[in-house]
Amino acid sequence: MSSNTLPALPALYEIEANAAWRRIEFISDLHLSAQQPRTTAAWTDYLVGSQADAIFILGDLFEVWIGDDARQPGRFEWSAAEVLVDAASRRTMGFMAGNRDFLVGAAMLKACGVAALPDPTLLSAWGQRVLLTHGDALCLGDEAYQAFRRQVRSEAWRHDFLLQPLATREQQARMMRDASQASQRRQTAADWVDVDAAAAVGWMNAAGSRELIHGHTHRPGSEVLAPGYTRHVLSDWDCDSEPLRAQVLRLTRDGFTRVDLVP
Binding mask 207-246 for another protein (x = CB under 8 A): --------------------------------xxxxxx--
- Residue whose CB is less far from another protein, 37 or 208: 37
Is residue 247 involved in binding another protein (CB under 8 A)? no
In which order are the strands placed within the sheet that holds 211-214? 13-16, 121-125, 128-132, 211-214, 229-233, 221-226
Q: Cβ neighbours of residue 29 under 8 Å, at least 6 residues apart?
A: 59, 60, 98, 215, 216, 218, 234, 235, 236, 237
CB of 13 to another protein, least distance (A): 30
CB of 100 to another protein, least distance (A): 21
Nearest residue to 27 (alpha-carbon basis) of 239, 253, 263: 239
Between CA 236 and CA 248 the distance in angstroms is 10
CB of 189 to another protein, least distance (A): 17
Is residue 263 involved in binding another protein (CB under 8 A)? yes
CB of 34 to another protein, least distance (A): 15
- Residue whose CB is less far from another protein, 7 or 255: 255
CB of 258 to another protein, least distance (A): 7
Going through 59-135 in order, the beta strands assigned E by DSSP cover 92-96, 115-116, 121-125, 128-132
Binding mask 37-56 for another protein (x = CB under 8 A): xxx-xx--xx-xxxx-----
Is residue 258 involved in binding another protein (CB under 8 A)? yes
Q: How far is CA 112 from CA 12, 184, 255, in A?
A: 24, 33, 29
- N-to-C CA span, the chain: 42
- Alpha carbon dihedral 53, 114, 133, 216, in 10-degree steps, equals 100
Q: Which amino acid is at 136?
A: D
CB of 17 to another protein, least distance (A): 19
Judged by CB under 8 A, the number of residues near another protein is 25
- Residue whose CB is less far from another protein, 172 or 257: 257
CB of 164 to another protein, least distance (A): 35
Is residue 163 involved in binding another protein (CB under 8 A)? no
- Residue whose CB is less far from another protein, 37 or 118: 37
Q: Which amino acid is at 45?
A: D
What's the length of the chain? 263
In which order are the strands placed within the sheet that holds 247-252? 115-116, 92-96, 54-58, 24-27, 247-252, 255-260
Q: Which residues would be at the binding site for another protein (CB under 8 A)?
A: 37-39, 41-42, 45-46, 48-51, 239-244, 250, 254, 257-259, 261-263
